[in-house]
Amino acid sequence: MLRTLSASHDRFALNAPFRIARGVKTAADVVTVTIRDGAHVGRGEGVPYPRYGETIPDALAQIAAIAALVEAGASRADIATVMPAGAARNAVDNALWDVEARVAGREVAALAGVAAAAPVASAITIAIDAPDAMAAVAARHATVPLLKVKVNREDAAAQIAAVRAAAPAPRLIVDPNESWTIAEVDGLAAFLREQRVDLLEQPLPAGEDGALAQVSAGIAICADESLHTRADLAALRGRYSHVNVKLDKTGGLTEALALADDAVAMGFGLMVGCMVCSSLGIAPALLLAGRAAFVDLDGPLWLAQDRDGGVRNRGGILHPPARGFWGAA
């Protein structure tokens, strides 16, 4: 049967401003790829990220450039040779996984040889705001298993302390999004331990994180912006204890699975993360969640309206989408 590929720009309004150290957003702009193979339809989503030089028009152009290859039967491995890792390939790769599973009448998890998606404790993210406002958000989520606190340079200690005071129980990830200096990492290390921070995520700018090799913070530190694909892993040794695997960086589930395998073999702990996206961007990532020490897949919870049948949050436990949403007939 004839295979066709189409791509679109979809926008999802957020239910609140999402502020991090490098800016604020009020909507999630994504590219959605749909691949039809006879009666079967597969979908994938990517979030072009300006931090990595990506835009919606560029992503759509990348997808259009390989559409004929996909329609002629190109595989996920074929696509990886002609598309760079990133949001555009993520959307194509995951749409191919989805349609392959539907054609085969099997689940993606079975095709990939991994455990099926299951409910998992996922971070609830607290965006940057005044410390008292962040504390108010934390108080509403004081009983969830895991919180993630976005911070900047100016009020980081006050923001972290306010959240921890309002929510003493959850595990805590602190994410400066590359905004700190090595002096601030050193200077805040004891404070982070006192606040029972479980993970510090990408405190330094990517490219300047070699200084972390000299740090003895006594706290786990995770690479995010410094890690995209397996090719980046070797340089992270001695700097980070954990790595954040995001499908929009790896270019889809195919590379993400391989990256996770290599990272674990090299002794890194795993975190699975996401951009602010719909549940279509989260469904593939859930297949990695069971292996991860930290899961941060709450992107759809920021949307005013998610795609029908998407993930559900119950007290900080993220439940997979409805059957048939992605990856299974």
The DSSP code for 204 is S
Helical ranges in the chain per DSSP H: 56-71, 76-82, 87-104, 108-112, 131-140, 156-166, 182-194, 233-236, 247-250, 253-265, 279-282, 286-289
Whole-number pLDDT of residue 185: 95
Residue closest to 96 by CA, chosen among 165, 191, 4, 206? 4
Residue closest to 242 by CA, chosen among 299, 182, 175, 180? 175
Whole-number pLDDT of residue 218: 84
What is the C-alpha to C-alpha distance for residues 241 and 237, in angstroms, rounded to an integer? 8
Q: Does domain 120-319 have CATH number 1.10.287.3510?
A: no
271 CB contacts (<8 Å, ≥6 apart)? Answer: 199, 201, 222, 242, 243, 244, 245, 292, 293, 294, 295, 296
Structure tokens at 329: 């007939």
Whole-number pLDDT of residue 1: 57
CB atoms < 10 A from the CB of 23, how many?
Answer: 11
CB 212 within 8 A of CB 223: no
Residue closest to 159 by CA, chosen among 192, 204, 128? 128
Whole-number pLDDT of residue 22: 82
Whole-number pLDDT of residue 148: 98
Dihedral sign from CA coordinates of 216, 222, 225, 231:
positive
CATH number of 3-107: 3.30.390.10
CB 72 within 8 A of CB 4: no
Whole-number pLDDT of residue 82: 98
Across the chain, what does the average pLDDT equal? 96
Active site residue ranges:
150, 246
154 CB contacts (<8 Å, ≥6 apart)? Answer: none
CB 275 within 8 A of CB 56: no
231 CB contacts (<8 Å, ≥6 apart)? Answer: none
Whole-number pLDDT of residue 299: 97
- Tell me whether domains 3-107 and 120-319 share a fold: no
Q: Structural domain boundaries of the chain? A: 3-107, 120-319
The full DSSP string for 223-248 is ESTT-SSGGGHHHHTTT-SEEEE-HH
274 CB contacts (<8 Å, ≥6 apart)? Answer: 246, 247, 248, 281, 282, 285, 296, 297, 298, 299
CB 16 within 8 A of CB 127: yes
Whole-number pLDDT of residue 265: 98
What is the C-alpha to C-alpha distance for residues 295 and 45, in angstroms, rounded to an integer? 19
Whole-number pLDDT of residue 21: 81
The model carries a pTM of 0.96
Q: Are strands 294-295 and 269-272 parallel, antiparallel or unpaired?
A: parallel
pLDDT in tens, the chain (329 residues): 589 999 999 999 999 999 898 888 999 999 999 999 999 999 999 999 999 999 999 999 999 999 999 999 999 999 999 999 999 999 999 999 999 999 999 999 999 999 999 999 999 999 999 999 999 999 999 999 999 999 999 899 999 999 999 999 999 999 999 999 999 999 999 999 999 999 999 999 999 999 998 887 689 999 999 999 999 999 999 999 999 999 999 999 999 999 999 999 999 999 999 999 999 999 999 999 999 999 999 999 999 999 999 999 999 999 999 999 999 87
The DSSP code for 34 is E
CB 44 within 8 A of CB 93: yes
Q: Hunting for tokens 């749909």 — which residue is that?
A: 34
Q: Are strands 124-126 and 146-150 parallel, antiparallel or unpaired?
A: parallel
Q: Hunting for tokens 């039967």 — which residue is that?
A: 73
